[in-house]
Amino acid sequence: MIATLSAALELPRPVVVAMLGLWAVLIAASALVLALRARDEARYRELTERTASWWWMIGAFTFAIAANQVVAIVFLAIVSYLALKEYLSLIPTRRIDRGLLLFAYLAVPVQYFWAAVDWYNMFIVFVPVWMFLLFPALMALRGDTQNFLRAVGTLSWGLMLTVFCLSHLAMLLVSGELTNPVGGGVGLLFFVVVLAQFNDVAQYTWGKLFGRHKVTPSVSPKKTWEGLVGGVLTTTVLAALLGPYLTPMDYLWSALAGSIIGVSGFLGDINISAVKRDLGVKDSGGLIPGHGGILDRVDSLTFAAPAFFHFFRYFFTP
């Protein structure tokens, strides 16, 4: 059955098996949540909302990678666009700069085009060089110097996080076709996305169970050292199991990749938390019930995606 499904979807067999395993975990988790809700509906209402949202998110992710590469890239670009839109709706914007926001949105399809054609040299410089030079130049030409530095910094950092950093997922998907003989680009994408999201859940769970010592109380009061260490160790173990099955990495390299994803995912999480705390908001949006906005859900990937991409590229690209 697995071979038939793999052939029908044109996906590597390891990816199909891993995806079925992910759905099995989701089904088991949903059954557990339903049992908990039957005991105390009010107490587990948020958990129920979170689980229901995971069905939509995993469903959309499954559809995107099962369709074809183009659909997957468009899906990832839409995620970037929504994250950028949420970010721009939160930050203070000068009236004179609002016309320039069109260039920020246009950066999304351009950046993902470089990823789609696997043009690494343009992919790696388009946002952090050309867009970073374009915005201050256009702002300066308009002649308004009040809050100039803040305007340049907030817009540039938003592009860096939501467009450049997240687009590494698309680049991983495309370039992985040549560098990953085991699971292809889809295998690499599945590996980093699932581990980053699992790391979020693991750190939250360990923190709830044993959390005592806060890591950054002024940025994210609920983050504890117990949650961080427990989550990273759990993610490292899962990576060691998944890596050799989905990627050309052995157990040790996979474990190292898992620890990188775990730590960088945590840093991405608290970075977005710092942004929200500075702006005085709890969530970046309300698009995903129980989770907040798109930016709340991909915060860990803003750091984990580029960190894993360049780790893999350096050590496993000929």
pLDDT at site 258: 97
- Whole-number pLDDT of residue 209: 84
Give the burial class of 27: count Cβ atoms within 10 A of its Cβ; 0-12 exposed, 13-18 middle, 19 or more buried.
exposed
**Which stretches of 40-100 are DSSP H helices?**
45-67, 69-90
Global pTM reads: 0.93
State the Cα–Cα distance between residues 265 and 310, nearest whole angstrom.
Answer: 15
Tell me if residue 230 falls in helix, strand or coil. Answer: helix
Q: Which segments within 165-309 are labelled E, that is strand?
A: 214-216, 220-224
169 Cβ contact partners less than 8 Å away, ≥ 6 residues apart: 76, 189, 192, 193, 301, 305
Q: Which residues of the chain have pLDDT under 50?
A: none
